Amino acid sequence: MYLVCGEALFDVFSEDEAGGPVSQVSFKAIAGGSPFNVAVGLRRLGMESALFGGLSTDYLGRRLHQVLLHEGVSTTYLVDFDAPTTLAMVAVGANGSPHYSFRGEGCADRQLSLEHLPSLGPEVCGLHFGSFSLVVQPIADTLLALAQRESGKRLISLDPNVRLNPQPDIELWRARIATLVQYADLIKVSDEDLSLLYPGQDPQSVIRSWLQHRCQLVFLTRGGQGATVFSQGHGSWSMPALAVEVADTVGAGDTFQAALLTWLGENEMDSAEGLHALTRDQISAMLDFAMRAAALTCSKTGPDLPYRQQLV
């Protein structure tokens, strides 16, 4: 089982039609949040997963809980809070890239504190961390403590997934990511994330500095330009993006992440030792699997992650 750590929320999309009344705004809300999506994505791809996070006792929080149960994600590590559910208002650009505006101050998904740190049994093979839960308090320090506690005991994966709306202090992001990369075995990062974190710096230099810690693999995603993998033992190489008619890219990075972890689980390489033993061909197969999964998500609106039978 993978334990995915962080926020659960609703992505809210405008559904206004041209010529409609200007006094009315129509919305469609879809359960999401990067960690939530990764947990669901893992289950759809056939892996056991659980979410460690805070859920609201309000109507939307109960719906998130229902979605997790419906998808088969374990709710054992969820903590209920009498606080609102975060909303992410999503505007989709012409190229399908999403732009977010968060309504999350004081919301349930931020409320995890050190007293909520769970005990983990041997069924948990790895933990995944990512997105704005890494930098908003008190959950940020809680997740850091969990990563520090479990690093070296279980596979640790990290996706910065930088979102400046909930936390605009880029120096805080930079400092926290610099700390977390010391505990991660596998990192997935987008070119957008790196340009925000380290503007003007060579992405390869940043990634190679990460590989000087315990990290074995870094996957750099570049949208329509494909992806590049950096391996501590095998160097770096790239794959082109698959040709797909893009509806939007919401959830594509989360799908990529879930697929990476799924490949490791299916091939019984879901440990730090397993990563170290991977051959170049195996890493390429892992990258190909993740890119095909992400392409399927891009062909649909919103974070509608694929099922295992769609990836043959």
Residue 25, pLDDT above cutoff 90: no
Asked whether residue 20 is domain-assigned, the answer is: no
Residue 88: CATH number of its domain: 3.40.1190.20
Asked whether residue 22 is domain-assigned, the answer is: no
Average pLDDT, the chain: 93
Q: What band does 93 get if pLDDT is binned at 50, 70 and 90?
A: low
Residue 18, pLDDT above cutoff 80: no
Stronger pLDDT, 224 or 250, i.e. the higher one: 224
Asked whether residue 19 is domain-assigned, the answer is: no
Asked whether residue 23 is domain-assigned, the answer is: no
State how many domains the chain has. 1
Average pLDDT over residues 12-24: 74
pLDDT for res 94: 57
Asked whether residue 230 is domain-assigned, the answer is: yes
- Residue 188: which domain range? 2-12+28-310
Q: What band does 130 get if pLDDT is binned at 50, 70 and 90?
A: very high
Asked whether residue 177 is domain-assigned, the answer is: yes
Residue 95, pLDDT above cutoff 80: no
Q: What band does 16 get if pLDDT is binned at 50, 70 and 90?
A: low
Average pLDDT over residues 256-279: 97
Q: Which of 50-59, 99-108, 181-190, 229-238 has the lowest average pLDDT? A: 99-108
3-state secondary structure the chain: CEEEECCCEEEEEECCCCCCCCCCCCEEEEEECHHHHHHHHHHHCCCCEEEEEEEECCHHHHHHHHHHHHHCCECCCEEEECCCCCEEEEEECCCCCEEEEEECCCCHHHCCCHHHCCCCCCCCCEEEEEHHHHCCCCHHHHHHHHHHHHECCEEEEEECCCCCCCCCCHHHHHHHHHHHCCCCCEEEEEHHHHHHHCCCCCHHHHHHHHCCCCCCEEEEECHHHCEEEEECCCEEEEECCCCCCCCCCCCHHHHHHHHHHHHHHHCCCCCHHHHHHCCHHHHHHHHHHHHHHHHHHHCCCCCCCCCHHHCC
pLDDT for res 119: 96
